[in-house]
Amino acid sequence: MANIVYTECRGGPRFWTLFAGLLVVVAIGAASALHMEHFGHIVTGMSNEIVWGLPHVFAVFLIVVASGVLNIASLGSVFGEMPYKPKARLSGVLAIAFLIGGLAILVLDLGRPDRLTVAMTNYNFRSIFAWNVILYSGFVGVVVAYLVVQMTRAWAKWTPHVGLVAFLWRLTLTTGTGSIFGFLMARSPYASAVLAPLFIAMSLAYGLAVFVLVRLALETSASRGVGVELLDRLMRLLVIFAGSVAYFSGVFHFTSIYTAWRTGWESFLLLDGGLYTVLYWGVVVLLGTILPMAMVYGRTGISRRIEVLAATLVLIGGFAHVYVIVIGGQAYPLNLFPGWEVTSAFADGVVARYVPTLPELGLGLGGAALALLLTMAAMRFFRLLPTNPGGVAADAS
């Protein structure tokens, strides 16, 4: 570790081509937000039944990733795993960038972004949304402090202590994100304390998958080799975290089956929910969990293609999982009066229809591109990437 030095990413044709491409996607996202702001949400697929659409799926997914990707830094400074310490700086920058990307989508999708200051200065402390404003802004501050002590030689001794605060803060943040849904008692698909640990497990898996893909992209574009042993460790962790998501998801559905007023939701999602059933079993379970675990479990020296494919499948399954939770949970009809049969002319008991529109997709992709763009800018101007003095990559463990 004493021989590790850090450098900026000096860039190259691939770097600047990707940078320019991300700028275009961010511009598309800004244009989509302006279009929605000008014409209103009538241009989206959202309705009175589904008020959180595809942009919220992107936002929640990016926030979950932001929390989880910081786990790489925590493994080094909090748990003393030396091979992960050189990656702590990049891990912290990714956490901040993805959180900013997710929050940018939220601010632009909720309507009246000019009134954000009202939400930031008037708190209802009985609202989980108010708590999350504190958690999100505090997370950025804590991770910035974490990066400062790592990058300042005189303050390096404080890294484990600040790292512990960052670790505990990110757990609290992800608990708050899961509790946004867990506290919604009126909707039977939510209203469960199990959502908090489920979101923590999701953050670990999806954050690690993003980190693996970013490191492999750096290896390809900047000739920075990643040690085989280190990647084997990361892929073993990915298997464990993906299995943890499957476990807590199973606990969530198992407890719901034994809760009388939620059995209808479970029957809908697991058996006859149409698109949502296909997404859950086909994408979340099969493509996003079973297949990547089968590709990686018990193997060493895995090829780069397999690693990229496994991490990508985990992310695809994760995005589908968030889609099922956010959109599927709203599409299932509200049980306004438990124990009573309610009939009216206003679609009572009818599954809400939702078809995302191009502006929604553009805004979501723009937020994801913004996260990657901020990461690339930070790598260009700050010393985040580890190398040995001789120029050999320092990621070999």
Quickly list DSSP for 253-296: HHHHHTSGGGHHHHHHHHTS-THHHHIIIIIIIIIIIIHHHHHH
* Whether the Cβ atoms of residue 98 and residue 371 lie closer than 8 Å to each other: yes
Q: What is the pLDDT of residue 188?
A: 83
Q: Which residues contact 165 (CB under 8 A, 6 or more apart)?
A: 142, 146
What is the spatial distance between Cα 110 and Cα 233, in angstroms, rounded to a whole number?
Answer: 40
H-state helical runs in 40-87: 54-69, 71-77
| Domain contains 394 | no
Supply the pLDDT for residue 392: 40
- pLDDT tens for the chain, 397 residues: list them: 456 777 877 777 888 888 999 999 999 999 999 999 888 888 999 988 898 999 999 999 999 999 999 999 888 888 878 878 888 889 999 999 999 999 999 988 877 777 777 767 777 777 777 788 888 989 999 999 999 998 888 888 888 899 999 999 999 999 989 988 888 877 888 888 899 999 999 999 999 999 999 988 887 654 455 567 778 888 899 999 999 999 999 999 999 888 878 888 899 999 988 899 999 999 999 999 999 999 988 777 778 889 899 999 999 999 999 999 999 999 998 877 767 777 776 767 788 899 999 999 999 999 999 999 999 999 888 888 877 533 444 443 3
Buried b / exposed e over 216-238, threshold 16 CB at 10 Å, is bebbebbebebeeebbbbbbebb
79 CB-near residues (< 8 Å, 6+ apart): none
Whether 287 maps to a domain, the answer reads yes
Looking at the domain assignment, is residue 35 inside a domain?
Answer: yes
What pLDDT score was predicted for residue 394?
A: 46
Contact 80, 387 (CB under 8 A): no
Residues 6 or more apart whose Cβ sits within 8 Å of residue 363: 29, 32, 33, 36, 55, 58, 105, 108, 109
Instruction: State residue 303's pLDDT score.
Output: 82
Q: Smallest Cα–Cα separation from 253: which of 233, 230, 269?
A: 269
Q: Are 25 and 365 in contact (CB under 8 A)?
A: yes
pTM > 0.85 = yes
Owner of token pair 């997710």: 102
Residue 94 belongs to some domain of the structure? yes
Q: For residue 285, what are its two tokens?
A: 């379970």
- CATH number at 49 reads 1.20.1630.10
Does residue 395 belong to any structural domain of this protein? no
Instruction: Map tokens 């974490």 to a residue.
Output: 146
Grouping H, G, I as helix, E, B as strand and the rest as coil, residue 393 is strand
> Is residue 391 in a domain?
no
pLDDT of 28-37, one tens digit each? 999 999 999 8
Range of the domain at 225: 8-381
**Residue 314, in any domain of the structure:** yes
Number of structural domains (the chain) is: 1
Please give the C-alpha separations between residue 333 and each of 49, 329, 342, in angstroms, as whole numbers: 8, 9, 12
Q: Is 195 exposed, middle or buried (0-12, 13-18, 19+ CB in 10 A)?
A: buried
In a domain? residue 303 = yes
